[in-house]
Structure formats: C-alpha cells, structure tokens
C-alpha cells in the first residue's frame, strides 16, 4: 500500500525508533566539552561521553574544523582508491605503535570482525600442517567485543545472545588474570587469544601486567596470535597512547574504536607485517577509510600526541582516583579501580541504577553517569576535562549518595 508522503515530525515521535536501550525521556540538542544541554535548556555534566567515545569532549573545535575542511575537499572517493587523510593517519598510528599495517572500519565490532577474520586466515595459511585446522580464539569471561554475530559470540557476557542462536562457532572463554585457565583451553584448534587490556563493559577490570606478560609468553610458546581489543582502553584513555604499553609487551594484532574518531564512526585494525595476510576482496566495506572520518581521526590523534597531553591524562586520572577513594571511604563503599581516565567505583550494594537516575534528575544541573553493573559506577570523561569538572562531579555524586544512604 502506498502511504502519502509526510515531511512533518516532532522530536517527540520517539515511537518511530526501534527500542534498543532504555532511554530517559530527554532529547539532547547541544554538547560542548564535558557538558550536554537538553531540549529544555537544562545542562548536564557528562561522564559517559558517548561511552568513552568523545575523548576530547563534545564538538571540539579540531573536529569541527576537520569536518568542514575535509568535506569541502572530498568526502568519499571510495576504498578502491587511496586518500590523503587515511595514509596520514595510518602512518602516524604505525609510527606510534608496534604495528605495521592498518585497516580502517566504522565501528569497534567491525574492527574486531576483521581481527577475527585475519586470525582465522592466518591460521589456515600457516597452521594447517598435519591436517590441523586452527580457527578457535580464546576470549574471556565478562569480555565485550561488540554486537555483531561473531563479536557477540566472542564476548563473555553470560547468557547473552542466546535469542540469536546459533552462535558463531570458534570461541572459548577463559578467566581474566588466570593464566592456567587460558593454558587449559589451548588445543590443536586454537589460533589466537583475544582480550581487552582493561575490560570496559565488564566493569573496568584491568588485566595485570604479570598476566599480560604471561599471556605473551604462553602465546609465543604455542605459536598463537595475541589480539588486544583496545576499542575502549586505547587512544590515550589509560594515560598511554595504547593500553598494551602498560605491560611492556607487543601484541600481534590490535583493534581501536571509540576514541579514535572522537565522536564520529571510525575504527581500526592494526597488525604486524607478518600477519598482514588479507588479499584483495577479503575485507572491506563501502565506507572503510573514507577521508571525512580519517581526517577527524588525524585531528584527534594529533591532539593526543601533543606534548604533555598523555601526562595530563595520568595526572587527572590520579586526581579522580583519589577523589573516588575518599568518597568510598566516607560512605563505606568498597574502593575503586581502573587506569587513567577509565575508572570504576565499587558501591558495595546495588544502588548503581538509583544513583544514575537521581544524578541525572538533579537541579539545576544534572550529572550523567553509567552503571555497567548494579554495584558499580563507571567513569569515562573527556580526556581534556578540567580539575574543576572532576571536583564538581565528586560533589554532586556525594550529594546523591548522601540522600540514598540517609
């Protein structure tokens, strides 16, 4: 049946959108740095920042400028041809990491799909001796790698995705920071181990340096690839440009997302030269490496590389850490954990949801927080926030917790 054409809408037509998350009845119309403004003009201090995406805050000048300048030049000549921003960004990423080759994609899940494919193909090419067929990847309990079929199967969220069965085969799950649990899963089908150096969605759980080093030795011993998913922990979030640097190891493959685009859809798969086994046609997509997004990525990376920037992330992370520790002690909570500006407060009871709601509804300004588990709050502010914006958040949080505990 043909419907008449409409060109009217209101911002309250939310029923037209598929429900994919529980959204509060707010429409955000503007963002600047650490602040969002809703349709009523109320301001919110934003400690989600698009889930660690806006590493330079909302609408930073360098991203606006990159978008304006690049969109006037060329937006998408297609991945069939080279473009300048992609070459420049890939070059800077390899010069500042242990990797040699870069493939750009549009989301963290897509970069991880690429990593899984690369590992499987490398296994087929190099690990097929004596009739072996190595394709299995060991991942970890509570890990999160994305919402496509393969990355859902790779993720270690218990019971997640059962409605979308059958799962993509080829993933087994070990326990983070438990090397013996990884060793126990290695078979003649294993090709790689994949992990987040700091589990994000799982509740900000860092892999220890000792574990990362043990994993590197174990994978080397068995001829397995070590893949780090730095979609959340990479790009300066921990105070290092890449989180693997915290443990002085060199992984074989890495994925980046979220912060790499500072708010626009951009992700990347990086690998060492000897694992760069994709051939024409194996991997790609209409928007991969389009210059509009990679020009933004270049502007973001140049900001992170400026002298003193990463040190300021370490300093502000330490400041946030001590503030959270004080808050925890004051309210009898169970402390905090994290790296750099990816941190979590262990609430000691299931008040996370209540805190998120009350903090959001505070007047005259609200506070946006995330509770990945009922007993935990996660903090992932812009990396360039001010000390004052840390103090203000801690005061507001203290206020909310006082009311809840009274």
Ligand X SMILES: *Cc1c(COP(=O)(O)O)cnc(C)c1O
List interacting residues with ligand X (CB under 6 A).
107-109, 112, 144-146, 196, 200-201, 229, 231-232, 257-258
- Closer CB to ligand X, residue 186 or residue 266? 266
| Identity of the residue, 127 or 378, whose beta carbon is nearer to ligand X in the bound complex | 378
Which residues lie below 8 Å from residue 397, measured CB to CB, with a gap of 6+? Answer: 327, 355, 359, 367, 369, 377
223 C-beta neighbours (distance < 10 Å), count = 12
Q: Which residue of this chain has its Cβ atom nearest to ligand X in the complex?
A: 108
CB of 284 to ligand X, least distance (A): 17
Close Cβ partners of 64 (under 8 Å, ≥ 6 residues apart): none
**Minimum distance of ligand X from residue 217's CB (angstroms):** 24
| CA dist., res. 34 & res. 55, Å (int) | 10
Q: Among residues 106 and 328, whose Cβ is nearest to ligand X? A: 106
How many CB atoms within 10 Å of residue 315? 14
Contact 382, 54 (CB under 8 A): yes
What minimum distance in Å lies between the beta carbon of 223 and ligand X?
25
CB of 16 to ligand X, least distance (A): 22
DSSP 172-191: EEE-TT-HHHHHTT--TTEE
In the complex, least distance from residue 110 CB atom to ligand X, rounded to whole angstroms: 7
* CB distance 255 to 228 below 8 Å: yes
User: Who contacts 388 (Cβ-Cβ below 8 Å, separation ≥6)?
Assistant: none
Tokens 């992990």 found at: 195
Q: Please report the sign of the dihedral spanned by the C-alpha atoms of residue 73, residue 77, residue 78, residue 84.
A: negative
Nearer to ligand X, 89 or 235 (CB): 235
Q: Give 113 or 136: the residue with its C-beta nearer to ligand X.
A: 113
Q: How far apart are the first and last CA of the chain?
A: 59
Neighbours of 14 (CB within 10 A): 11
**Between 198 and 401, whose beta carbon lies closer to ligand X?**
198
Q: How far is CA 129 from the centre of its chain?
A: 36
Least distance from C-beta 114 to ligand X, angstroms? 12
Q: In whole angstroms, how far apart are CA 108 and each of 51, 79, 126, 152?
A: 12, 19, 27, 12
Nearer to ligand X, 108 or 366 (CB): 108
247, 212 Cβ separation under 8 angstroms: yes
Smallest gap from residue 196 Cβ to ligand X (A): 5
Which CB atom, from 112 or from 190, has the smaller least distance to ligand X? 112
Minimum Å distance from CB 199 to ligand X? 8
Smallest separation, CB 132 to ligand X (Å): 29
Cβ proximity to ligand X, 196 vs 339, nearer residue: 196
- The residue among 198 and 292 lying less far from ligand X, judged by its C-beta, is 198
Cβ at position 109, least distance to ligand X in Å: 3
Strand order in the sheet with 101-105: 101-105, 267-271, 253-256, 225-230, 190-195, 136-140, 171-174
């Amino acid at each position: 049946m043909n419907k008449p054409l409409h060109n009217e809408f209101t911002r309250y037509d939310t029923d037209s959108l598929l429900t994919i998350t529980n959204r509060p009845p707010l429409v955000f119309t503007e963002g600047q740095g650490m602040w969002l403004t809703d349709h009523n003009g109320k301001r919110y201090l934003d400690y989600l920042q698009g889930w660690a995406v806006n590493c330079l805050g909302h609408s930073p000048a360098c991203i606006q400028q990159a978008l304006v300048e690049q969109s006037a030049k060329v937006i998408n000549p297609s991945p069939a041809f080279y473009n300048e921003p992609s070459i420049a960004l890939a070059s800077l990423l390899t010069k500042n990491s242990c990797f040699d080759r870069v493939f750009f994609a549009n989301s963290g899940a897509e970069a991880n799909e690429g990593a899984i494919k690369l590992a499987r193909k490398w296994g087929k090419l190099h690990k097929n001796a004596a009739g072996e067929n190595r394709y299995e990847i060991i991942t970890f309990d509570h890990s999160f790698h994305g919402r496509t079929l393969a990355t859902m199967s790779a993720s270690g969220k218990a019971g997640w995705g059962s409605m979308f069965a059958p799962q993509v085969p080829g993933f087994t799950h070990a326990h983070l920071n438990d090397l013996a649990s990884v060793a126990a899963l290695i078979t003649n089908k294993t090709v790689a181990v994949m992990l987040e150096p700091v589990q994000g969605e799982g509740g900000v759980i860092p892999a220890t340096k000792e574990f990362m080093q043990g994993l590197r030795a174990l994978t080397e011993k068995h001829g397995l690839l070590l893949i780090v998913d730095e979609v959340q922990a990479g790009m300066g979030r921990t105070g290092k440009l890449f989180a693997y640097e915290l443990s002085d190891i060199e992984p074989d493959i890495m994925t980046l997302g979220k912060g790499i685009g500072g708010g626009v859809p951009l992700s990347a798969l990086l690998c060492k030269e000897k694992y760069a086994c994709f051939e024409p046609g194996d991997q790609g997509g209409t928007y991969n490496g389009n210059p509009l997004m990679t020009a933004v990525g270049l502007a973001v990376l140049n900001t992170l590389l400026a002298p003193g920037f990463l040190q300021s992330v370490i300093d502000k992370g330490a400041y946030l850490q001590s503030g959270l520790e004080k808050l925890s002690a004051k309210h009898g909570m169970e402390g905090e954990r994290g790296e750099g500006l990816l941190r979590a407060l262990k609430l000691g009871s299931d008040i996370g949801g209540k805190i998120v709601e009350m903090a959001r509804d505070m007047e005259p300004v609200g506070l946006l927080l995330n509770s990945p588990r009922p007993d935990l709050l996660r903090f992932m502010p812009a990396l360039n926030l001010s000390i004052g914006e840390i103090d203000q958040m801690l005061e507001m949080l203290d206020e909310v917790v006082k009311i809840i505990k009274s």
